[in-house]
Amino acid sequence: MDQSSSLKFLGSWADSHTHRVRLALKLKGLVFEYQEEDSVNPSPALLLHNPIYKKVPALLHDGRPVVESLVILQYIDETWTDDPIMHADPFERAIVRFWCHFADDKLGPAVGLVFSSAGEGQKAAVDQVHENLKLLERELRDGAFKGRRFFGGDNIGLLDIVLGCGSYWLAVFEEVMEVKLVDPDTFPLFHAWLRDFEEQKEVKETIPPIDKLLEHARGIRQMMLSLSTDTTTATTIGAPATGSTTSNNDAAVEEIGLLQESLVL
Amino acid sequence: MDPPSSLKLLGSWADSHTHRVQLALKLKGLEFEYQEEDAINPSPALLLHNPVYKKVPVLLHSDRPVVESVVILQYIDETWADNPIMPADPFERAVARFWCHFAEDKLAPAVGAVFSSSGEGQKTAVDQVHDNLKLLERELRDGAFKGKRFFGGDKIGLLDIVLGCGSYWLAVFEEVMEVKLVDPGTFPVFHAWLKDFEEQNEVKETIPAIDKLLEYARGIRQMMLSLSNGTSTTAPAAAGTTSAINVAVDGRSG
């Protein structure tokens, strides 16, 4: 593959949007330099290249920044045209873009809410995740993706990357929270797709090992729970805690917020 | 060009996302059938073709639905290649897509918050709109869009359509709410772009007359104020008002 240009990629190791970009670069066989970012303390480079959102991922191509993971994925696909991750047909592209929007607009936030809530609120969040997964299951069974191995067809495509790079968090949360999110009986096709996706070589090389993710998630959940016991007014664990003044708590709240934002699948 | 009968648009007359699609179709010279939808009472066709969001706009091309306005715009551009609304260069496309995301993610909700709040809350919302407009102004003045007539260059492009089709609401709200949102002194380049955009033939043929929009906005604002005073308590009316507000105001339709 001809790659005479330079690629640098700012990301965070546990961030699903970072994984999206990393996986796309890998699928395209592109070489890049990687810089790990601390979400709570963004580097000068990140602030320079993503001044509006100040978040990872940011892709620098010959020094020019592209930000927002979906924008980056399409940029990669349009710049390096071998091994396309988007279909050529406009209607197919529209379907994929729609479900990417759904993933970031509905499914991701619902999953994040499962993680950041408890009790009745969490039960409602779990129901919401199930409602959203049902829509995807139906599309896999009878709709736009019927009969396909991946959302992209025979190969991983944009929607697989977008949905897949957050979907391993479902298993992480199931374990940390002891809730059932992807029951193979209720969502057989989604479950089968996810297992297939996770077995792909490039995916295994991209997603961190599950024990590291579990440790990371448990740590954040602990912080959330300890924050909620510090106050009597936070209705959502991880909401800015009234009266929390220590910098540790501020950092924890910020980290939780950033994790929730990164949990858009 | 496809025969006229193959394109049908489900939309709502005051909805900025509907206007985006109408404008794009007009810029491409495409004929289409239009069906007006009541946001509160979606038609069977709308529920069938957009079961996930149940909202306008929906474009039917030979009966196949495309939903979400930015998805529709790109579909139109990729299907009918003449008079492109997206730039050819991948980096410029990325820039356009980023600012479309910004428009939907930050600017539109801030504008909606101005409309649906009052007092101190509204003052905060206005400040938020100004912060967002400053970012655009800076990009127009010194950044990615420096020296361009439109965001798309010499001609209207995707970002002009996305930003422009909601920006006339800024003037509507300024009048209804008596707040200043786009001060030409503070946002000279943005202001100039908006006035230029609004003067384009296709835009004038797409956006409803300002007096109709003012009447519509005043009506919704009245409902909101009466709701907050607790004088309107019927659930369907409240739900309808909220739905109408969401549709018209912060672009929370497709």
- The 10s digit of each residue's pLDDT in A197-252 is 999 999 999 999 989 999 999 998 888 878 776 544 334 444 443 433 344 455 55
Cα–Cα distance, B66 to B44 (Å, whole number): 16
pLDDT-derived band at B242, boundaries 50, 70, 90: very low
Instruction: Output the DSSP codes for A96-157.
Output: HHHHHHHIIIIIHHHHHHHHH--HHHHHHHHHHHHHHHHHHHHHHHHSTTTT-SBTTBSS--
- Structure tokens belonging to residue B183: 């001060």
Question: For B163-207, what is each residue's pLDDT tens digit?
Answer: 999 988 898 888 888 888 999 999 999 999 999 999 999 999 999
Residues in B touching A66 (Cβ below 8 Å):
91, 94, 98
- Structure tokens belonging to residue B112: 């909606």
CB contact under 8 A, A91 and B68: no
pLDDT at residue A264 in the model: 44
pLDDT at A30 over 70: yes
Q: Does B98 touch chain A (CB under 8 A)?
A: yes
Closest-CA distance, A77 to chain B, in angstroms, reads: 9
Expressed in percent and rounded to 5, the helix, strand and coil fractions of chain B are: 60, 10, 30
Residues in A touching B66 (Cβ below 8 Å):
91, 94, 98
pLDDT-derived band at B2, boundaries 50, 70, 90: low
pTM, two decimals, is: 0.89
Beta bridge partners of B67: B58
Quote the ipTM score: 0.90
Percent of chain B with pLDDT over 70: 88
Q: In a mutagenesis test of the A interface, which of B48, B59, B66, B250 is the best target, namely the one with the most A β-carbons within 10 Å? A: B66
Residues in A touching B71 (Cβ below 8 Å):
94, 97-98, 101
Select the more confidently predicted residue: B100 or B39. Answer: B100
pLDDT at B251 over 50: no
Question: What is the distance in angstroms between the CA of the first residue and the CA of the last residue of chain B?
Answer: 26
Closest chain A residue by Cα to residue B92? A75
Give residues 87 to 106 of A whose Cβ lies within 8 Å of B: 90-91, 93-94, 97-98, 101-102, 106
Question: For B132-168, what is each residue's pLDDT tens digit?
Answer: 999 999 999 999 999 999 999 999 999 999 999 998 8
Q: How many CB atoms lie within 10 A of CB B112?
A: 22
pLDDT at residue B222 in the model: 87
Closest-CA distance, B78 to chain A, in angstroms, reads: 6
DSSP code of residue A41: B
Nearest Cβ partner of A101 from B71, B93, B106? B71
Residues in A touching B61 (Cβ below 8 Å):
91
Residues in A touching B90 (Cβ below 8 Å):
75, 78-79
Q: Is A215 helix (H, G, I), strand (E, B) or coil?
A: helix
Average pLDDT, chain A: 87
Nearest Cβ partner of B90 from A78, A94, A135? A78
pLDDT at residue A226 in the model: 82
CB contact under 8 A, A94 and B74: yes
Mean pLDDT to the nearest integer, A149-162: 97
Give the angle B77-B84-B203 at the CA atoms, nearest 5°: 90
CB contact under 8 A, B67 and A78: no
Question: For A71-115, what is each residue's pLDDT tens digit?
Answer: 999 999 999 999 999 999 999 999 999 999 999 999 999 998 988
Mean pLDDT to the nearest integer, B53-73: 97
Cα–Cα distance, A91 to A81 (Å, whole number): 19
Mean pLDDT to the nearest integer, A122-144: 95
Q: In a mutagenesis test of the A interface, which of B52, B53, B59, B128 is the best target, namely the one with the most A β-carbons within 10 Å? A: B52
Cα–Cα distance, A250 to B4 (Å, whole number): 59
Nearest Cβ partner of B135 from A52, A68, A135? A52
| Helix ranges (DSSP H) in A43-84 | 44-49, 69-79
Cα–Cα distance, B22 to B249 (Å, whole number): 18
pLDDT at B250 over 70: no
Q: Does B75 touch chain A (CB under 8 A)?
A: yes
Residues A129 and A115 sit within 8 Å (Cβ to Cβ) = no
pLDDT-derived band at A21, boundaries 50, 70, 90: very high
Angle, helices A210-230 vs A247-262, to 10°: value is 130
Residues in A touching B91 (Cβ below 8 Å):
61, 64, 66, 75, 79
Residues in A touching B135 (Cβ below 8 Å):
52
Q: In a mutagenesis test of the B interface, which of A28, A75, A76, A96 is the best target, namely the one with the most B β-carbons within 10 Å? A: A75
- Structure tokens belonging to residue B42: 């979606």
Q: Tokens 């384009």 identify what position?
A: B200
Task: Establish, for the pair of chains A and B, how many residue pairs have beta carbons separated by less than 8 Å.
Answer: 59
Closest-CA distance, B90 to chain A, in angstroms, reads: 6
Question: For B209-222, what is each residue's pLDDT tens digit?
Answer: 989 999 999 998 88
Q: Is B179 helix (H, G, I), strand (E, B) or coil?
A: coil
Cα–Cα distance, A151 to B223 (Å, whole number): 44
**Cα A222 from chain centroid?**
21
Closest chain A residue by Cα to residue B100? A71
